[in-house]
Structure formats: structure tokens, C-alpha cells
Structure 1
């Protein structure tokens, strides 16, 4: 099968039109159309339904597009490995993690990584959906559970607990909180129980909501919970690592916390020799060590 025709087919299927694919490939619309017709003739099938609004893949076209997407991701992985210099760290690195960890812990620390490797181009993808690393949806993942996919190199970074925090001003304006039942006198700020989150957090939230709280604010991510708590809206359910970066928050009910949440860093086996991945992995590990040291110092103080 002609690789050049497959490349053009993939661009057309991805863009949904001959014109857009031509612009991407620096080819005329007629040249793209000729290549698609030639591919259809060689396969003796129709790959696209053509109509005024653009192109829609046929069932046969969908099958071929699935194959070219897989091929494209494998080629990107090979290209990434080839581009990795033996001594330099540069180029694109796609990192995925949760919205909470990415916004509250990782993103604020990336300045140190860029200071060391200014030619890195990090694409930070923050979402609760678990991206497929072997299929190259991302290069590196930081996940709140051990990855189950095969052919991944994984390293446990740390453990997280969900705890209760509030601002000093909010606590000063409300009745004292000495036990869980006292939460009925305050406002709870937490993730919506139906939103995507680790099971330990969902279990703690469900337990707190069982107290039939009169005032409640739910948000679909921890960044929103943090902003509400910082602005004195209530007692929030937040990961314990916020203590280091937001010292204005006070822990409420120190005996209340979620089960342990393990944090893992993972990347595909095929990127074992990648200098970009190694640089990011080492940076995160160093920041974790510094994070633990600061928490120990805070506890001693």
C-alpha cells in the first residue's frame, strides 16, 4: 500500500475536508482529491461520503483511519526517540495528570524545570480521564493510582490524603469545630460526589455529606474548592499537599482524613532512553523530596 497516499488519506480524515488537508500538506485540493481517488481504486472501496458540508468516513474509511492513527502515533514515538540528543534536553513533552494535582502542585513548580531546560516545550494535559500512554496519547503521566496498562515504566512518588481545611478568617467567624457533627454549623466545600475523583476522596465526601449539612458548595475539581476556601466560603476537602503552598489555610479536625492515595509517575517502555522524559522524571522526584522535607519541617515547628 502506498505510504504517501495513506499519509494524505489520514490528513483528509483528520481534517474532514480536502481543502483543509491540502493546506496542512501544502498540496492543492485537486492533488489531494486525485490521491484519495487513487487510494479508493487500489482498495476497490469508497472511503468517504461526499456532501456539501464536507467529508464523512464510510465504515471502510473508519477502519483505515483507525489503522493510520495507530501508525501515526507509533511514528511520533519513533521520531521522539530519534530526536532525543545524548546530551541535550529539548523538544515537546506531553504530560498528563489530574486537574487538581496539575494546577495546585505541578504547574507552579515548572518554572524550575524551564530554568534548567529552556528549550523544552511541555504540553500539560489536565483531565481526569486516563490517557493511553502506549498509544502515545501522552508521553508521561502522573496518576492517583497505580497504572494497569502493560509496557509502562512506573514509579511511586508519594502518598496523598484528603483532609479538611479552612481559612483563619472563616473559622474565626464561625462556632468552634471539635467533632464531625459540628460541621452542621458551617458550610462544606467539596467535589461533587458524582464528579471524577479518586475513590478515597469520594468515600470521605460521602461520609461528610451523611451529616445532612444545611449549607453546601460542590465543585467539580480541587482548584475550585481551593479558591472557595481561600475566599472564606467554608471548610473544604482538599489534598494534604496544599499545606506547603497555602500556609494561610488551617487544618480542621486533624483526625479526619481519607484513605491513602498513591501517586505514580509512568511512561511507555519505548521512551526509557528519552532525555526529555528522564529530565522531567528527575525534576518531579527532586520536587517530591523537597516537598516532604518542607512538610517535616512544618510538623517539627
Structure 2
């Protein structure tokens, strides 16, 4: 048995950790970059060499046994130590050069960030930007990304950053359409599909708009703006998007309860890396200059 333990490799721990995280072999295989059949064979070899079952196979997925849970815990601790070493090494860099992996949403990238990123590249041509569009927060501790640009009122406590503005939301309709006096019963509505169930603006629409008037839902803010402009209904939109579209007009002033803070975030170990600091400084200055527009002061109701 002692020989079996000595034969364990980091890849074995990484494989078990992936299965524990994903609960299925296909997803775990994709996570570590191997074929499903290879994942199945490797798991069998590890269990055979250890002489113990690491996962119970249920209809709901792979459930770790106590041994599998402990091995996955060791894998997580090893990943954190490797990521920590990588972050500390990055913190020793001097030149403003290298790659920065940035995660943000498609909405922020398309309607706000791209011109500022282009200006940053012009000023720092030695920096390469790798953009990851994801609405879910990536793990900056594992260096899935170096910088996160997010609209949130609850940034992770493990990260450090700067709040640059409050993103306002207001009610909009098509610019040329007649608007009845009773918006709730006289208009069709469009709404954002919020799978997380956390957005106050979505909860408000669901609580106040009659179900028969909720004509269209979409899980993209960009798609939501297109729907209002196309006349599918009235709906709440971020002011920094809607105020710049001639096909839309405000129907009410921004509601402070529906806004979210715009944050520039990174891991504490990376904040003094020259290229990270340069990007954060550049974006903070550029976005601060647009604060009135972001906070909905750029147009009247």
C-alpha cells in the first residue's frame, strides 16, 4: 500500500479534484483537458492502485467517498499554493509588459470598455489583453483572471479594487411610440432573465407588472436594449446604454434601488504588478470622467 501512495502524482490529485468539483466525468475531463474515456480509465487506475473507492456512482453524479473528499481537498490546497506562488512571482515584475487576463460582461465590454482598452494598448503596447466574457465571477485567486470589471454591490472580500461609479437603471420605451398613462396595464413589458434571482429590478418587474403584460424576457442586457428599441415593450435598462441610443427615450428618472456599483478588482498579490496597476489606473481615470453618464445624469426623463 505504501508503494501505491508513493506512485501518486499531482495529475492524480488534480483529476480527483476535478471530478469532485464537476460531479460528472465528461465535465471533469473537459476541465483538465483530456478525453472522457481517458478520465474514466485514469480514475479506475487510481482507485485500483489505492485499493479504495474514491467516488460512489449515483444517478445524480459522482459523489466522493471520505477518501475521495480528502484527496480532493489536498488537490485544492495544492492548487492554491501553486496559484499563490504564481501571483507572488508576478508581483516581482518591473516592466509594464506581458499578458493581462481580464474578465467582464459583454454589456460592459461592448458599450463602455473597448475604447478605453484600445487607448490603454496604445499607451502600453507591451501589454497583451486576454478578454474573458463571463457573467459569473471567475476565481482570481486561482488566476482564472487577473482583473475583474464587474457591476456588483457585493465584491468578493478576497479581492481588492476601486469603485468607480454607480451604474444607474431607468425605465425606457421606443422613442417614437405613444405611451399610455397607465404603464403597468397599458403597455407590453420586456424584462431581464435573472437566473441568480438577485437583481432588484427583475424582482420589481415580476412583482408589479401583470403576467399577461410581460411579453418578452431575455438573459442579456444587450438583447434587452434591442427588444425595447424594436418595440417589443417598455423595460428597465442601464442608463449608460439606453441614453446613447436615439431609438430609446426615458419614461422615468433612474431608480436608485436598481443601480449597482462598478468595480475594478484584482487579487491583493497582483495589485502592485506594473502592468496590472497601469491598467487599473488607466481605467479608473477614464471611467471617472464618464461618471455623470454612468450614473444617469446625461438625459432627462
Same fold (TM over 0.5): yes
Instruction: Could you tell me which runs of 5 or more consecutive residues in structure 1 were left unpaired when the two chains were aligned.
Output: none
| Displacement of 1:40 | 8.1
Give the root-mean-square deviation of aligned CA atoms.
4.2
Give the Å deviation of 1:151: 3.9
Secondary structure of 2:251's counterpart equals strand
Check if 1:176 corresponds to 2:179: yes
Q: Residues 229-282 of structure 1: CA distance to partner in whole angstroms, max 9, x if unpaired?
A: 2333332311111145x3314333233635242222322222222233223312
SS in 2 for 1:143: strand
In structure 2, how many angstroms separate the alpha carbons of the residues matched to 1:168 and 1:115?
37
d(CA) in 2 for partners of 1:207, 1:256: 18
Question: What is aligned with 1:276?
Answer: 275
Please say if 1:64 is aligned against 2:71: yes
Higher mean alpha-carbon deviation, 268-277 vs 72-81, is at 72-81
Distance 1:24 1:235, change over 3 A: closer
* Post-superposition offset of 1:24: 7.3
Aligned-partner Cα distance in 2 for 1:286–1:150: 24
Asked if the contact 2:152/2:263 (under 8 Å) is kept, the reply is yes
SS at match of 2:195: coil
Q: CA deviation at 1:159?
A: 0.6
Structure-1 residue corresponding to 2:159: 152
Superposition pairs of residues 118-197 of structure 1, within 5 angstroms: 118=125, 119-127=127-135, 129-147=136-154, 149-169=156-176, 171=177, 175-177=178-180, 179=181, 181-192=182-193, 195-196=195-196
Aligned residue pairs total 272
TM-score (norm 1): 0.69
TM-score (ref. length: structure 2): 0.69
Question: Do 2:171 and 2:236's aligned partners in 1 also have CA atoms closer than 8 Å?
Answer: yes
Q: For residues 197 and 89 of structure 1, what CA distance do their matches in structure 2 show?
A: 40
In 2: Cα distance, 1:287 partner to 1:3 partner: 55
Structure 1 pair 207/104, CA: closer, same or farther in 2 (3 Å)?
Answer: farther
- Give the match for residue 263 of structure 1: 262
Q: Tell me how far apart the structure 1 counterparts of residues 51 and 114 of structure 2 sit (CA, whole Å).
A: 48
2:245 pairs with one of 244, 247, 250? 247
Q: Is the 8 A contact 1:147 1:154 kept in 2?
A: no
Shift of 1:62: 4.0
Query: 1:8 — aligned with what?
Result: 11
Provide the rounded CA distance (Å) in 1 between the counterparts of 2:64 and 2:199.
Answer: 40
Q: Quick one: structure 1 residues 145 and 57, their matched pair in 2 at CA, closer, same or farther if it must change by over 3 Å?
A: closer
Aligned residue for 1:241, secondary structure, equals helix
Change in Cα spacing, 1:88 to 1:262, as seen in structure 2 (3 Å) is closer
CA separation of 1:282/1:99 partners in 2, compared to 1, >3 Å: closer, same or farther? Answer: same
Is structure 2 residue 78 aligned with structure 1 residue 78?
Answer: no
Find the aligned partners of 2:120 and 2:129 in 1 and give their Cα distance: 11
The CA deviation string for residues 64-98 of structure 1, in whole angstroms up to 9 with x for no partner, is: 23322342244234224424631223124242x44
